[in-house]
Structure 1
Amino acid sequence: MNDDRSALICCKPHDRSVQEGKGIIIYYSLTYREWSEDTQKELRSLTRESVSGDELFLRKLVDATRLHDKLWSHISNESEEHTDHSVYVTEFTGERAKPYGASITDLVLASEGGYTSTFSAMYWIWHEPAFRSMDQREGSVFTLELAQRLLDHYTVLGGKTYEFIYSVLDPQLKKVHLFVKEVDL
């Protein structure tokens, strides 16, 4: 096939580049590793994936990730030689997200959807004692754009100011759950 968009260049076993038109997308190896706070040791590798640089940025910025139908809180990130990346996680108990933990767990684990090729953002607003879906829904958002939102502490939507409380990535459903609380600034 002489189509340049389908060329695959293998650089390292877990680092590959795909030429698409004029740009190159570099893929990185990312491993989620379960970490024990008690023993300060890695318990096991949960999953290893190959992701684009934009997606790697997004995955490292969220507070938690849904893997194997469980929520995992992020503890830390690291890289080896800037190509092999790890996210250290512990099972999400809601302790780090009090008083929101139970609501976050319920909403993320109940989330459904079919396969999509791009990520979407789902906003959830805090109405004690639980989060409720906001009218602010976004489908097909660029991965880097979502990552940039995670750098903000506050956002203004529809003339109201919201504080970001917690964020959860569901890589299988390609969703980023953004949990917010309305604030007066």
Structure 2
Amino acid sequence: MYYPLRYIEWSETKQMEVGEVYQIHSLSQEELFVHKLVDAVKLNHRIWVHVSHESIDHEKHTIYLRPFAEELPATYQRSLATTISGQKDYPNGLAPEYWLWNGTQFQRRDAIDSYVSPIHLALRLLDHYLVQQDITYDILYTVLDADRQKVMIFLNEVNE
């Protein structure tokens, strides 16, 4: 089954819709999960933060957005914006991309996996931590870069 998805800008100050940002006419259920589970989305080279999402009769889906702003700790804010905006590659389908905090900025981490199905990617987005080779990472933030079809997963190594 396939579903339409609308991205709508939301004004916190006015408590109302500002207008439609983007529309996707047909997404699989698994892809829809990924769209709804990330913290933010990059559409047409602009970063938007998810405010909330809803469905009407389980068929029509809407994600409410606001422009990317100061909702993250200052430590990560500038590096996140620079990293998200600076990527230019274009893969064929949804793929995860991992970014590790090095104390001053995010650096691309070697691929953990080359392909993850949309449902497995959605399952990964449900976790707060990622453990790889006995190293635990805190998942700080997730962004669907719709322009590149990448899910950017920002990590910080947890000191144990």
| TM-score, structure 1 as length reference | 0.81
Equivalent residue, structure 2, for 1:152: 127
Contact kept in structure 2, 1:120 and 1:138, CA below 8 Å: no
CA distance in 2, matches of 1:78, 1:114: 29
The structure with more strand, counted as a fraction of residues: 1
Structure 1 runs, 4 residues or longer, greater than 3 Å off: none
2:71 corresponds, among 53, 73, 96, to: 96
Contact 2:5 2:27 in 1 (8 A): yes
Residue aligned with 1:56, SS: helix
Cross-structure match for 1:87? 63
Where do 1:96-135 residues align within 5 Å? 96-98=71-73, 99-116=75-92, 118-135=93-110
| Bigger relative contact order (CA 8 A; separation at least 6) | 2
Q: Aligned equivalents of 2:117 and 2:8: distance in 1?
A: 26
2:50 pairs with 1:77: no
Find out whether 1:33 has 2:33 as its counterpart.
no
Partners of 1:119 and 1:143 within 8 A in 2: yes
The answer for the alignment partner of 2:22 in structure 1 is 47
Q: Is the 8 A contact 2:51 2:66 kept in 1?
A: yes
Aligned to 1:4: none
CA shift, 1:32, in A, is 0.3
In the alignment, structure 1 segments of 5+ residues that lack a partner are 1-25
How many correspondences in the alignment? Answer: 158
1:65 matched residue in structure 2 = 41
Q: Give unpaired runs (5+ residues) of structure 2.
A: none
- The letter for the 1-side match of 2:80 is I
Which protein shows a greater Rg? 1
Shift of 1:52: 0.8
